[in-house]
Structure 1
Amino acid sequence: MPGARAAVGAESGRVRRYVPDGPFDLRLVLGPLRRGPGDPTFRAMPDGSVWRASLTPAGPGTLRVSVYGGEVRGEAWGPGASWLLEQLPELLGAADDPSVFAPRHRVVAHAWHRRPGLRLTRTGLVLESLIPSVLEQKVTTDEAYRAWRLLVRKFGEPAPGPGPAAGGRLWVMPSPRTWALVPSWEWHRAGVDNKRASTILRAVRVARRLEEAVRMSPEDAQARLEVVPGIGPWTSAEVVQRSHGAADAVTVGDLHLPGIVGWALAGDRDADDSLMLELLEPYAGERHRAARLILLSGHTPPRLAPRMPRGDIGRF
């Protein structure tokens, strides 16, 4: 493939170089793929590089992405290395067209001006976004991140390539078959209730069909995902935002997003989904990008109520 070369040593991988078209912020682009600071599949390094471990259609792979000047360098290891490098431009937003976006509110315009390097990633992988999104249903992010971290480290496999160079070993998430064999008590120890565990088990049984959705439009992909009991509009939107780079997939049913959007665009901290969608209507086709910019703006309402109560079923 263009820009790639064969491995030349135990710690050397295949390499591809890529020059983004326009402003580019690596951590801003790949940030949505990180599931908490302890995500075992993702690591952001002090030198500015980002490491990811993925289960690709060709097998497990590790990808290191770094930026030098205006050029991106991707280096990959493992059976999935070629697939990861083939996907590299889309992962970094090459399929995204931010030029069609027109800010229509000062908060959005200010965030857009301050974040010119924002591109929407497209991973080309469904399950790697679906499973952590299911874990995030109706719980705090801390609980979900803990569950993802524990399950991946216990049932995943060490990522190929130079782990120490990534600041410690990365892990590839379990295969669908391995997810299907996770004992009930291990879900419990990770703090995952039966409803979320059952949703994941139903999803991995039809993993091939779900991965096929990456070749569909985001709307059709959401419809296919939502056929699985336990996967609704919130979860399907969270998935296609990452797997498809879906610029218009709004996360509805979220505990905080309507209030944040309502506060930023209308000064209404009590906005619900219907008002949020009404406020985002001028951004039709780009509503997810607009919502993302609002979140990046930091223009959020002051907190008045306690946070969602945290539960840990693994202790009982």
Structure 2
Amino acid sequence: MSALRRIVVGVTTGPTDEQAGLTSVYRPRDPVDVRLTIAPLRRGAGDPAWWSAPDGAIWQATGTPDGPATRRLLVRRDGVHVTAWGPGAERALAGVPDLLGARDEPAGFDSSLHPVVREAYRTRQALRIPRSGNVFEALVPAVLEQKVVGLDAKAAWRRLVLQHGTPAPGPAPRTMRVPPSAAAWRAVPVWDWRRAGVEEARAGTVLRAALVAGRLQQGAELPIEEARRRLLTVRGIGPWTVAEIASRALGDADAVSVGDYHLAHLVGWALTGSRTDDAGMLRLLEPWAGHRQRVIRLIELTQTHNAPRFGPRMPRARPLV
């Protein structure tokens, strides 16, 4: 039986005024760790599209084909209670199962092949690979992360989304923003890219992708190989960026970000005690073919803080003004 047929989602449509929104309860068959599952979609604690509320709720502002939406997820004993606001509220509710890994099938994943993976999975079996379905919204921050320090990429994303995003619908915090649409990214002036520390190469890649955003988004409903092929037709997008997008927007449990200097060394250190390169990382991950992104996530969650530093830190960028 497919993952989608195993989902039980109770939806009650309430008032559509600004404060009430629409509500639903998502009850997956198997436990899902909501925070761990969607963590890769959030670009740092300062991401304007996300907010963690004191009551434990997670808020997200996102774009949909029907317009912007704000989604609030709160885990309770009887399921994940979701409220959504804005023109895209219905689509935001409908996308929750995929967002929380409903299409992810851990069956066939053998954590016993290595003690590090076995121990990581023992306490994180509720981790799922998310599928946001929003290809372009995952593409932009992935491009911003190309060949720069992660803190710089997150700072650039925060600045640009605050400047060019739109206020999140509903009773969301005033600082929350819906990430810019493809049309809005095309309208970002060159000086705003430069003040955010984004050079011409990365800005140009985002602009080229924005011109074909509709075709790229269609890939979310196509076989994943076709979605990857379409992404690779955009100059400036290579295998690393495709893997980053696929693991977030397309629910690709096998995505491997080849070309990430730190990832290869982290995987090598975790599984053998020694650094390695991309080829070595792929060999080490081969026993988990089909679940390599799952193994990477488990290693990142449990081994990153214990791993030695692999070379000098890259210098922080400055605004290009």
TM-score by length of 2: 0.94
Q: Distance in 1 between matches of 2:60 and 2:93?
A: 12
1:12 counterpart residue number: 20
- 1:251 is matched with which residue? 257
Gaps of 5+ in 2: 1-8
Aligned partner of 1:46 among 46, 49, 54: 54
- Residue 18 (structure 1) shift: 1.1
1:174-219 CA-to-partner distances (Å, cap 9, x unmatched) read 1111111111111001110000000000000001001001012222
Conservation of the 8 A alpha-carbon contact between 1:20 and 1:70: no
What is the one-letter code of the residue matched to 1:186? D
**Corresponding residue of 2:160:** 151
Aligned residue for 2:149? 140
* Separation in structure 2 between the aligned mates of residue 140 and residue 120 of structure 1, nearest angstrom: 24
Contact 1:65–1:73 under 8 Å retained in 2: yes
C-alpha distance in 1 between matches for 2:189 and 2:88: 28
The reply on whether 1:27 has 2:32 as its aligned counterpart is no
Runs of 4 or more above 3 Å deviation: none
- How much has 1:4 moved relative to structure 2? 3.2
Aligned to 1:207: 213
Question: What's the counterpart of residue 161 of structure 1?
Answer: 170
1:224 maps to 2:230: yes
Query: Which of the numbers 312, 315, 320 marks the counterpart of 1:306?
Result: 312
Contact 1:87 1:123 in 2 (8 A): yes
Whether the 8 Å contact between 1:135 and 1:196 is mirrored in structure 2 is yes
Task: Tell me the matched-pair count.
Answer: 311
Matched, 1:61 2:69: yes
Aligned to 2:94: 86
Please give the alpha-carbon distance, in whole angstroms, between the structure 1 residues aligned to 2:16 and 2:240. 45
Amino acid corresponding to residue 36 of structure 1 in structure 2: G
Q: Percent identity?
A: 49
Distance verdict in 2 for CA 1:158–1:192, change over 3 Å: same
* Cα separation, 2, equivalents of 1:304 and 1:234: 19
Unaligned 5+ residue runs, structure 1?
Answer: none
**TM-score when scaled to structure 1?**
0.95
Q: 1:31 to 1:129 in 2, by over 3 A?
A: same
| Contact map agreement 1:126 1:239 (CA 8 A) in 2 | yes
CA distance in 2: counterparts of 1:243 and 1:159, whole angstroms? 20
**SS of aligned partner of 1:108:** helix
The 3-state SS of whatever aligns with 1:3 is: strand
